[in-house]
Structure 1
Amino acid sequence: MSEAQQSWEEHYGQRDRVWSGRVNVRLAELVEPMTPGRALDLGCGEGADAMWLAEHGWHVTAVDISQTALDRAAADAMARNLADRIDLQRHDLNESFPGGVFKLVSAQFLHSTVPLDRARLLRRAADAVAPGGTLVVVDHGAAPPWASKLDHHHHHHEFPTADEVVLSLNLDNSQWDRARVAAVERDAVGPTGQQAVLTDNVMVLQRR
């Protein structure tokens, strides 16, 4: 088992459920108007985004490094009669990447406490977008105020701007349109009920 996989297995092993089980709000806002097709969900965790996409008509390839997270996603997909719409695959995205092309490729808060070549990974994500398809990347614009107590890495991490992330992809501007590249604020509630306004960097890139 690699250092990265071990780290994420330990993360998911801390408790029975790590994430809320709700779809990431930015993804829902951006994707709801789209006509469904094939989707790729990178860093799917326990599968909330993949479930939402499947319930809205998408056929989803959902990828994570943690087998524990994928097992939880598989159980939920089965319980919700979505297993035939979700293909769960384990990948260490530093080393392997799912095959195929997709109408939608989603990377929601794909940050890592272990080394991850994000620029290379997101370029591979862009390569997996079919002609006429969309790459949706949503990142933290800054650490939430409660991160100092929960996550030393994220509290001291410098988050790139949305423009910096897009520039790092080195995409051919003649082949891609920047549908939306912006920092967007939202209200959020922390793990012990703290309220705060968080900043999301939202990047929606469409392949011509």
Structure 2
Amino acid sequence: MREFWEERYKNRDYVYGDKPNVFFKTFIDGVEPGRILLPAEGEGRNAVYAANKGWDVNAFDFSLNARNKALELARREGVSIEYLVADIEFHELGEEMYDAIALIHVHFMAGNRSYIHKKLVNSLKKGGFFILEAFSRGQLKYDSGGPADKSMLYDIGELKEDFSDLEIETLYKQEVNLDEGLCHRGAASVIRLVACKK
């Protein structure tokens, strides 16, 4: 899997674009900045946007090529982000460290998903927000991106279960038109979540 992402991110172009995800941007624009974690952040488009909005940004991805492109984007934009090369499954996060955590189009093997979600929730401060946008199982009828493995796609019921310790403020499935670089383009089915740790 790591080899797949290193190959994808070695492209000089930003394959998911250099502008933030629309759902992520809407959230960031509506809240006071704090400390945010962006796991599996890829080429840095969301991390750099958050930094531009005054957030203290911690990000990581297991691709070195992704990190290099993210740091180049941050340099171009004149902002600073902390960006590590790490695997989300094994990376130590600490407890109650972040005011927000965002997973944007991050898909896991079915056996790891719930464990990783709980681990991330544990590192969220009380009063902090969890933001997620990912492809739903309805994405299989589209060719605009995402895994071909149905078990890696999202389901509202599973997310309710995974985030049952949080107060869910927003959770819905929506058909959207993606325009995010070369690899997320066209009609898509996504699930969007905002939840708060009380």
Q: Normalized against structure 2, the TM-score is what? A: 0.85
1:16–1:40 CA distance, 2 compared to 1 (3 A): same
Residues 16 and 183, structure 2, Cα contact 8 Å, conserved in 1:
no
Does residue 137 (structure 1) correspond to residue 132 (structure 2)? The answer is yes
One-letter identity of the residue aligned with 2:169: A
Amino acid aligned to 1:118: R
2:85 equivalent to 1:90: yes
Structure 2: 5+ residue stretches without partners: none
Residues 1:205 and 1:192: Cα distance change in structure 2 (over 3 Å) = closer
Q: Match of 1:117?
A: 112
CA distance in 2, matches of 1:110, 1:192: 14
In the TM superposition, residue 122 of structure 1 has moved relative to its aligned partner by 1.1
Whole-Å separation in 1 of the counterparts to 2:172 and 2:114: 18
2:31 partner amino acid: M
Structure 1 residue 89, shift from structure 2 partner: 1.1
Out of 3, 14, 21, the residue aligned to residue 24 of structure 1 is 21
The aligned residue for residue 165 of structure 1 is 159
1 CA distance for matches of 2:126 and 2:143? 41
- What is the TM-score with the length of structure 1 in the denominator? 0.82
Check if 1:155 corresponds to 2:174.
no
- Aligned-residue offset at 1:143: 3.5
| SS of equivalent to 1:105 | strand
CA contact (8 A) 1:23 1:49 kept: yes
- Structure showing greater radius of gyration is 1
Paired residue type of 1:161: D
* Match of residue 107 from structure 1: 103
Q: In the aligned structure 2, how far is the partner of 1:107 from the partner of 1:193?
A: 16
Aligned partners of 1:102, 1:136: CA distance in 2, in Å? 12
Question: Which residue does 2:177 correspond to in 1?
Answer: 187
